[in-house]
Amino acid sequence: MSKIKPSKGAPYARILGVGGYRPTRVVPNEVILETIDSSDEWIRSRSGIETRHWASAEETVAAMSIEASGKAIADAGISAEQIGGVIVSTVSHFKQTPAVATEIADKLGTNKAAAFDISAGCAGFGYGLTLAKGMIVEGSAEYVLVIGVERLSDLTDLEDRATAFLFGDGAGAVVVGPSKEPAIGPTVWGSEGDKSETIKQTVPWTDYREGSVAKFPAITQEGQAVFRWAVFEMAKVAQQALDAAGITPDDLDVFIPHQANERIIDSMVKTLKLPEHVTVARDVRTTGNTSAASIPLAMERLLATGEAKSGDTALVIGFGAGLVYAATVVTLP
């Protein structure tokens, strides 16, 4: 018989607060058109994107995360000292070690919180949310900060017509804490590594270091293959998340998909047959694709504008490089 005592965590977990940070510089499509042969109409019709935000030198991954996290902590009504874990999802923090989460945990004033980074691309927020839920239910932390943050402008090839217009920068954060009732559903997640070539970094950092390539590494993708996968396969995953939570599309109030492309969002809404009363996040129009940051940023904007309200039931789904995905149903803070 095991001598280990059972954990004393909370029965359930929930999102208690949300915060976001968008860099001050707003970049319209006209700026992108300076380096690619395209048009504003083409970009809008293919992606829905009108503007995006690009970070300045001072708006680092850590700085943006701290701004978003401070808002989330205040929104949750707790203090930084109560945070027991900090999870940061990002693919654009260029210092391999230490994890940027440790710097963020310290500068926020946590009491030596567990802190680590994860790399799960555009599904990173869902991965982090699932890990935070486990920590709270298991009892290793009472409150966990989950951050999605990117400076994708650093990884954008402005001469690549397929991707130059897509990416933006920003940070979104949520505080996850204990709940007496289910408020974060089961996660449906996974990966399809056989399709990893469809979204990838152009070359390894070592190739650039050794001088075998002159161009700084960037993110590239096979647009049509990604579109087909996201529309057809991710709609199935979204439905599985609804089934796992025991609800139907009629029970939903809000749909917050990864803000990759408005055409993908529209196709998923149609495939899932979402009722007209469901509010659909379309933050991609003015924020662009911010990868791991896109879901919490979209959530924060919906709540701030009143398009969604506290207590609403929302389906969230992220999908991207890997190819990885994660979907779950949550109660909004």
Catalytic residue annotation: 122, 258, 289
Which residue's structure tokens are 């933050």?
283
Q: Is 184 exposed, middle or buried (0-12, 13-18, 19+ CB in 10 A)?
A: buried
Output 211-218 pairs: Cβ under 8 A, ≥24 positions apart.
215/157, 217/155, 218/155, 218/156, 218/157, 218/160, 218/163
Tell which residue, 144, 16, 152, has the closest CA to residue 83.
144
137 DSSP 8-state letter: H
Place of tokens 């909004």: 332
Provide the CB-side half-sphere exposure for 274 (13 A, CA).
24
Picking from 222, 224, 182, the residue whose alpha carbon sits closest to that of residue 198 is 222
Residues 6+ apart with CB under 8 A from 15: 129, 174, 175, 176, 183, 184, 330, 331, 332, 333
